Amino acid sequence: MFILDVRNTDDFDDWKVEGDNVEIHNQPYFDLMDGVEPVEEKLPKDQPIYVICAKGGSSQMVAEQIAEAGYDNVYSIEGGMKAYSEHLEPIEIGKVSGGTIYQFVRIGKGCLSYLIESNGEAAIIDANRMTNQYDEFIKEHSFSIKSVLDTHLHADHISGGRDLANKHEATYYLPLKDATDVQFDYQPVEDGDEIKVGDTTIKAFYSPGHTIGSTSYIIDEQYLLTGDILFIDSIGRPDLAGKAEDWVADLRETLYKRYKKIA
């Protein structure tokens, strides 16, 4: 697809829509206030044009100007980069006892969260703050949320776990060692604890290194949700709390010894 990003160049260079089939061009809105001539030679005639800005206002005006210049299939992205940042895409990734495990991909930021469903009951792990999207999915599938869990104290997003637990009267689980300063009620989770969701078992597996309390979850002895400790091509950072020297040994222990025990 072809995208015209009309944000300031600094904002575009810092973060933009990317993908294997994405062609994207940046032309700041202020360059286009008097017409689309500065960008016209870049615009394709034979495919749709998607215009995006920060929140959807500037892109609407530019899209109208492009359409008036004779281009068909011109669209302004509603909500802009803010909406792109907050969108969660649910993907079915496997089966568990009596149900399914879904991965919610926050495409604009790369964060992952999970919903495990078994016999109508469900648990959510590492929820983002955009909880309305989980609510809509839950309502659509008639699930009943029983448990909400976080793998660790997050540094890259605000957790929606507590909010979801309160709304659905579910139990909110936090790793004990990451929750020392928490001022609200929660259920501490420690190594070896088991949480039942329908016929599915979620087992806590203490895996420190990214944070002191980082806890992975083993789902039915077949899926390992690592919570920012282990990625496909890299590993978690041990330095986000300024304690890299203390935590790097824990990270090494988790990656090279503890995980081997369940391999």
Hunting for tokens 């988790």 — which residue is that?
254
pLDDT at 31: 96
> How many structural domains are present in the chain?
2
- Distance, C-alpha 245 to centroid of its chain: 28
For residue 73, what are the domain limits?
Answer: 2-83
- Among the listed residues 53, 148, 179, 195, the single catalytic one is 53
Kindly report, residue by residue over 145-178, the tens digit of the pLDDT: 999 999 988 877 789 999 999 999 999 999 999 8
Residues 61 and 115 in one domain: no
What interhelical angle do 161-168 and 131-141 show, nearest 10?
Answer: 40
CATH number at residue 41: 3.40.250.10
Let me know if 111 is a catalytic residue. no
Which of residues 83, 118, 133 is at a domain's end?
A: 83
CATH number at residue 149: 3.60.15.10
Kindly report, residue by residue over 34-93, the tens digit of the pLDDT: 999 999 999 999 999 999 999 999 999 999 999 999 999 999 999 999 999 999 999 999
**Tally of CA atoms within 13 A in the half-sphere of 246 that contains its CB:** 6
Residues 53 and 106 in one domain: no
Kindly report, residue by residue over 82-120, the tens digit of the pLDDT: 999 999 999 999 999 999 999 999 998 888 999 999 999
Residues 202 and 119 in one domain: yes
Tokens matching residue 235:
């590993």
What is the Cα gyration radius of the chain?
A: 22
Cβ neighbourhood burial of 166 (10 Å; 0-12, 13-18, 19+): middle
pLDDT at 213: 92
Residues 227 and 153 in one domain: yes
Residues 77 and 97 in one domain: no
Residues 167 and 92 in one domain: yes
Cβ neighbourhood burial of 107 (10 Å; 0-12, 13-18, 19+): middle
Residues 74 and 188 in one domain: no
Average pLDDT of the residues of the chain: 94
pLDDT at 219: 97
In terms of Cα–Cα distance, which of 209, 237, 212, 214 is closest to 227?
A: 214
Which of residues 59, 83, 107 is at a domain's end?
A: 83
Residue count (the chain): 263
